Amino acid sequence: MKMNLPEQILNYRPEIGLILGSGLGFFADDRIEVAGRLPYEDIEGFPVSTVPGHAGQFVYGELHGKRVLCMQGRFHYYEGYTMAQLTLPIRLMHRVGVKTLIVTNAAGGLNRDFSPGDFMLINDHINFFGTNPLIGPCSEDELRFPDMSAVYDSELREGLREWAAVNGQDLQEGVYLATTGPSFETPAEIRAFATLGADAVGMSTVPEAIVARQLGLRVLGISCITNAAAGISQEPLTHEEVFETAVRVRPQFADLLAAAVSVC
């Protein structure tokens, strides 16, 4: 998919890309020394965010002396976008110089040791979208069959684990499973996903991580466990609950994500 690279971002030469999930967009305003903002709607051919809690703009600036490009709001398959459209930001990041991608999400907890408000370092994923963002034409400078045996960078994970241990931050670790949404999962689906080895479930992240690895970016993934999944929780699941939990843990999340940038 063709796109024109925004000159203001290209000239800034960001090193690290950040994708902020539902209810987590505050980080760009609270922690980044902002150099500029660019609404998605100002980029020709770019999708726009349609989900509450996703502001819909790039924010770029410095954090811990590193130039970061932050997605304040992402795109989802359930919004009606194609895989090519929702991963377009990753290709843009790569073309403007980003070498490392930190991707976050709000997720339901399948692991019964997890509680709402926990953070999970993603060590692997299961693609349950029923499709793949790499389907279709492949340019000469892209891998047709990229290896996915180590999507989430082990050195970056180790660095963040060490920071968490020193600073008394509880940090879970596990496998993230992605579905299309937008409906939440049934109790039977949750039991099936747990049997497959998933620790958390959500509706994003995996397509972005796959494309990032195809392009040679290092990837670090963090889930905010915002609710217990269906059949584990006895309460009906709502997007409002997801957002409220993310807001409740925003100071801890901000510290963790800032630390993630520092270890890159």
Query: The pTM is what?
Result: 0.93
* Backbone angle region of 130, left / alpha / beta, with phi > 0 → left and psi within -120 to 50 → alpha: left
| All residues at 6 or more sequence positions from 237 whose CB lies less than 8 Å from its CB, including other chains | 108, 184, 227, 229, 230
Tokens of 116: 């709402």
Residue 80 in domain? no
Residues 236 and 217: their CA atoms lie apart, in Å, by 38
Residue 196 domain-assigned (yes or no):
yes
- Partners of 107 in the β-ladder: 225
For residue 43, give the amino acid letter.
I
The token duo for 105 is 């999400």
Instruction: Please report where in the chains the tokens 């989900």 appear, as a residue.
Output: 51
Give the catalytic positions in this structure: 22, 54, 76, 78-79, 106, 203-204, 227, 239
Based on the structure, what is the number of domains in the chain? 1
Q: What is the pLDDT of residue 1?
A: 56
Q: Is residue 203 part of a domain?
A: yes
Give residue 249's domain range: 7-73+106-135+144-253
For 94, the token pair is: 């790569």
Give the model's pLDDT for residue 231: 61
In a domain, 258, yes or no: no
* Residue 149 belongs to domain with CATH number: 3.40.50.1580
In a domain, 238, yes or no: yes
Give the end-to-end CA distance of the chain in Å, rounded to a whole number. Answer: 29
Q: Is 39 exposed, middle or buried (0-12, 13-18, 19+ CB in 10 A)?
A: middle
| 83 lies in some domain | no
- Give me the helices (H) in the chain, please: 7-12, 26-31, 83-86, 88-95, 154-166, 187-196, 206-214, 239-248, 250-263
Q: Tell me the CA distances in angstroms from 184 to 36, 179, 202, one per residue in order.
A: 36, 9, 9
Establish if 198 belongs to a structural domain: yes
How does pLDDT run along the chain (264 residues), one tens digit per residue?
A: 556 778 899 999 999 999 998 777 888 888 999 999 999 988 888 887 776 555 689 999 999 999 999 998 888 999 999 999 999 999 999 999 999 999 999 899 999 999 889 999 999 999 999 999 999 998 888 899 999 999 999 999 999 999 999 999 999 999 999 999 999 889 899 999 999 999 999 999 999 999 999 999 999 999 999 887 666 766 666 667 666 777 788 889 899 999 999 999
Residue-by-residue DSSP string for 184-246: PPPHHHHHHHHHHT-SEEESSSHHHHHHHHHTT-EEEEEEEEEEEPBTTBSSPP-HHHHHHHH
Q: Which pLDDT score is estimated for 73?
A: 84
pLDDT of residue 65: 94
Nearest to 69 by CA among 24, 28, 110, 109: 28
